[in-house]
Amino acid sequence: MEPADISQYFRHRAGQALIGPPEQAVSGLAFIGLRENGRKLDAIWSTGGSVWSHLDAALAEYPNADFLEVCLTQSVQKITARQWEKKLTNRSSGRYGIQIILPDKVYRLSPTEMIAQNRTPQRLFAAVLEKHNLSAERFFATGGTVELLGMKQFFCFPAQARAVAVYRGNTIVADSRDRDVIEQTIEGMGNWFMANSGSDGEIPYKYWPSRGEYSTADNTIRRFMATIALNRLGQAAGDGKKIKAARRNLQFNLARFYQEDKEFGLIAWDGSVKLGAVALAALAILESPQSEKFAGQYGKLSRTIEALWQDDGSFRTFYRPAERNDNQNFYPGEALLFLASALERDNVPEKLQRVLKSVDYYRTWFRSNRNPAFVPWHTMACAKLWPLCRQADLVDYVFEMNDWLLDHQQWGGDLDPDLWGRFYTPGKPYGPPHASSTGVFLESLVDALALAREREDGQRADRYETAIWRGIRSIAQLQFKDEIDTFYISRKARVIGSVRTEAYDNEVRVDNVQHALMALLRFRDLL
């Protein structure tokens, strides 16, 4: 079954063709979902008979339906009691339908429903077990059955007599080195920022498209990174509206999170003051065209960073609670990025030596505690420090980190094609795959690429550039773009241009956008 076959059915319904539907229309287990402007009208499972007949009946009942999900079963895989934990994975979400059979009840979820509901097969199975007060062992022991349904997925637009074959409820972005992809991705991100910038300056931190709700969670570091990203975009485009939106956002974030403790400036939230949040707030002020208006806050935030610096070059990572000193993979690097950026404006030799001492400390730390999360911040800091001191070992250190990082990017093989280009290391405690991780690793690799080109290290530059293009493919795959990947969303302006967390997780978080945006802006300059 191909899209043309289904399109023929719709052309026939619209009276645009004299031939009727194919005589041997698909039969068997199939799913038909009907929507109007993203809103679900009905979900129908047919267990036999012609799919065309079921489409006829569904469209007769819902003549206003402007979108259909059609999923046709091609294979059925029975899952045993020993297999279910390994088979009902996140990666199977949106790739397969699921059928859970009990003696008196059958539960089904199509792959496109999983995407629309942001629901995984294991979550449905867990919900069924809970509803029937069963353990997994008891479920299988009493004859329960779980089946994964290999289903061809089509999205249909009746008014256009058009059908599109989709993969996990989306189309696959091709592997290419097309600069238009960069421009389109940047433009979409900028449009999302502006469409979601409130009159008070707030940019939402997290949004759940399936629920149509904003999360009440928050993160001060990501909030101020969004300010930096929007300001850089406005500056790069010479767009006064975006620059003003960034300033309003900075004002909003400072009003919400900035506090003082005598001579120290704090970015406080939920009982903690993190070194990383203080550093990125200071960086947001430093890069603002209106930085003089926030000079008082900037001076006190800088003083806090200085107070958290230790004589051996390390940083205390929390001002509050003072006993905490974790997140060493993140916060010291963010502090060094700010300090290096400040030195670009005012290169004070004494401050430069302190920062270089910290680089030495954390270089040793990294070699004993390797983690991908560490790499981007220290790479960006060293890239800024290199022109100020011309210490060759800084460049060597950047290459050491990013050469190691390359091994954590996934590409090809039996990996699902919509996951190619992401950064993830199965079996390692580095965390799950995430769009924000891919974005920040792209920032790292772009700076490493610039240094490799400066060194005229062609082989290394080629490796970095290949990894960057692959990462861009991943981000473009995850970006909400059109009527296909927003098929279940009514308020499309809330998501168009943003970046979902994974192909099977549609949560939108602001750092999914901002890291990739800053990487793309820099990479575009290199091109």
Tens digits of residue pLDDT in 489-518: 999 999 999 999 999 999 999 999 999 999
Label the pairing between strands 505-509 and 145-157: unpaired
19 pLDDT band, cuts 50/70/90, is: very low
Note whether 77 and 85 are within 8 A (CB): no
Q: Where are the domains of the chain?
A: 3-166, 179-526
Q: Which helix (H) or strand (E) holds 511?
A: helix 510-526
pLDDT at 17 over 50: no
CA–CA–CA angle 519, 524, 527 (5° rounding): 130
pLDDT at 524 over 50: yes
Longest dimension (CA), the chain: 84
pLDDT at 49 over 70: yes
pLDDT at 23 over 70: no
Gap between the Cα atoms of 59 and 62, Å rounded: 5
Helix ranges (DSSP H) in 158-239? 179-195, 220-237
Q: What pLDDT shows up at residue 128?
A: 97
Q: What pLDDT shows up at residue 396?
A: 98
- Among 497, 493, 505, 502, smallest CA distance to 480 is for 497
How much of the chain, in percent, has pLDDT values that exceed 90?
A: 93
Q: How far is CA 335 from the centre of its chain?
A: 24
Q: What secondary structure letter does DSSP report for 369? A: S
Gap between the Cα atoms of 96 and 87, Å rounded: 11
pLDDT at 24 over 70: no
- Its pTM stands at 0.96
59-80 mean pLDDT: 95
Gap between the Cα atoms of 305 and 285, Å rounded: 14
Note whether 92 and 109 are within 8 A (CB): no
Helix ranges (DSSP H) in 14-70? 51-61
Q: Per-residue pLDDT tens for 319-362?
A: 999 999 999 999 999 999 999 999 999 999 999 999 999 999 99
Gap between the Cα atoms of 165 and 197, Å rounded: 35
Q: What pLDDT shows up at residue 441?
A: 98
15 pLDDT band, cuts 50/70/90, is: low
Q: Per-residue pLDDT tens for 159-201?
A: 998 999 999 999 999 999 999 999 999 999 999 999 999 999 9
21 pLDDT band, cuts 50/70/90, is: low
- Which residue reads 């970015």 in tokens? 267
Residues listed for the chain: 527
What amino acid occupies position 60?
A: A
Q: How far is CA 225 from CA 218, 278, 299, 514, in A?
A: 13, 11, 19, 7
What amino acid occupies position 343?
A: L
Q: What pLDDT shows up at residue 449?
A: 98
Averaged confidence pLDDT in the chain: 95
Gap between the Cα atoms of 144 and 305, Å rounded: 59
Gap between the Cα atoms of 317 and 325, Å rounded: 5
Give the 3-state secondary structure of residue 83. Answer: coil
25 pLDDT band, cuts 50/70/90, is: low
- Among 396, 394, 401, 304, smallest CA distance to 352 is for 394
How much of the chain, in percent, has pLDDT values that exceed 70?
A: 97
Gap between the Cα atoms of 109 and 94, Å rounded: 10
Q: Token pair for residue 43? A: 């979900």
**How many Cβ atoms are within 10 Å of 375's Cβ, its own excluded?**
26
**How many Cβ atoms are within 10 Å of 74's Cβ, its own excluded?**
12
Q: What pLDDT shows up at residue 4?
A: 76
Gap between the Cα atoms of 73 and 77, Å rounded: 11
Note whether 49 and 26 are within 8 A (CB): no
Residue 348, by phi and psi: left (phi above 0), alpha (psi -120 to 50) or beta?
A: beta
- Among 438, 40, 32, 439, smallest CA distance to 212 is for 40
- Among 158, 154, 156, smallest CA distance to 167 is for 154
What backbone phi and psi angles, to 5 degrees, belong to 291? Answer: -60, -30
Q: Per-residue pLDDT tens for 54-69?
A: 898 999 999 999 999 9
Can you give the three-state secondary structure of 438-455, one letter per residue?
HHHHHHHHHHHHHHHHHC
Helix axes 275-287, 240-257, angle to 10 degrees: 150
1 pLDDT band, cuts 50/70/90, is: low
CA–CA–CA angle 152, 154, 160 (5° rounding): 160
Note whether 420 and 473 are within 8 A (CB): yes
18 pLDDT band, cuts 50/70/90, is: very low
In sequence order, the 6+-apart residues with CB closer than 8 A to the CB of 448 are 379, 383, 398, 399, 401, 402, 464
Q: Does domain 179-526 have CATH number 3.30.559.10?
A: no
238 pLDDT band, cuts 50/70/90, is: very high
Q: Token pair for residue 6? A: 């289904």
Q: Token pair for residue 450? A: 């610039």
248 pLDDT band, cuts 50/70/90, is: very high
Burial class, 217, CB count within 10 angstroms (exposed 0-12 / middle 13-18 / buried 19+): exposed
207-220 mean pLDDT: 97
Q: What pLDDT shows up at residue 2?
A: 79
In sequence order, the 6+-apart residues with CB closer than 8 A to the CB of 127 are none
- Between 13-22, 363-372, 455-464, 477-486, the lowest mean confidence (pLDDT) is in 13-22
Contacts 24+ apart (CB under 8 A), 294-302: 294/250, 294/254, 297/254, 297/258, 297/265, 298/265, 299/265, 300/260, 300/263, 300/264, 300/265, 301/265, 301/266, 301/267, 302/265, 302/342
Q: What pLDDT shows up at residue 20?
A: 47
Gap between the Cα atoms of 170 and 85, Å rounded: 26
Give the 3-state secondary structure of residue 73. Answer: strand
26 pLDDT band, cuts 50/70/90, is: low
